[in-house]
A and B are shown apart, each in its own frame.
Chain A
């Protein structure tokens, strides 16, 4: 029973264009969402987050959009750079709960 779903295993985007990574969730108790980035042979690192009281959060080239009614969030990277090639994990957490549940990840390839 997958509560956080990233249905695209991989995505290729031209350098300089926009990368859009999608995430769906099934648990209506989730109210905080996070994106983590992972390079090979390293642990994941925090990228950006959003609370359910917002529908958008922006940090430099990275923007996360949340659509609560659709139980869907997306990460936009503009413009995409070679260093953005990595695996991106969507994660979610219910309020007052200590667990953080991750999706399967999407591998992003930035093409020169």
Chain B
């Protein structure tokens, strides 16, 4: 059982380039999340989805886009990469929106924008 799989693990982008961070889960979870972790800054919520076809903004959505066409996949798109987007990105999922339902995290994507 793979859980939450993120690809790639590492990526270096030039300013202005675009890329998609992939996230897939095989637990049939309805809820999926994207967080970024900057050094000393904890985890900030970028976007989340409560089911296929439904997405919503989190705390820091600017510069990102998401889509949720299937239950399994929740890709995060950076259209015009900026140095401020250098961070470690974590995808997470949970079965329902029930309070206390724990999140399962992927192992992260380390992105550098130079």
Which residues of A does B touch, CB under 8 Å? 4, 6, 9, 31-32, 34, 36, 41-46, 49, 51, 89, 91, 93, 95-96, 98-105
Contacts and interface: CB of A to CB of B under 8 A. Distances in A.
A43 B107 contact: yes
A102 B58 contact: no
B108 A41 contact: yes
B42 A98 contact: no
A43 B90 contact: yes
B86 to A, nearest CB: 17
Given A100-B33, A102-B45, A104-B42, 8 more contacts: A31-B99, A43-B107, A44-B43, A44-B103, A45-B105, A93-B100, A95-B99, A98-B56
A105 B42 contact: yes
Nearest to A49: B100
Interface of B: 4, 31, 33, 35, 40-45, 48, 50, 56, 58-59, 90, 92, 97, 99-100, 102-108
Given A51-B100, A93-B99, A98 B48 contact: yes
Contacts of B99: 31-32, 51, 93, 95-96
A25 to B, nearest CB: 13
10 contacts: A4-B42, A32-B100, A41-B108, A44-B105, A46-B102, A51-B100, A95-B99, A102-B42, A104-B41, A105-B43
A43 B104 CA distance: 8
Nearest to B45: A99
B103 A100 contact: yes
A4 B41 CA distance: 11
Most buried by A among B41, B59, B90, B103: B103
Nearest to B31: A98
- 7 nearest A-B pairs in the assembled complex, by CB-CB distance: A43-B105, A104-B42, A102-B43, A46-B102, A32-B99, A98-B97, A102-B42
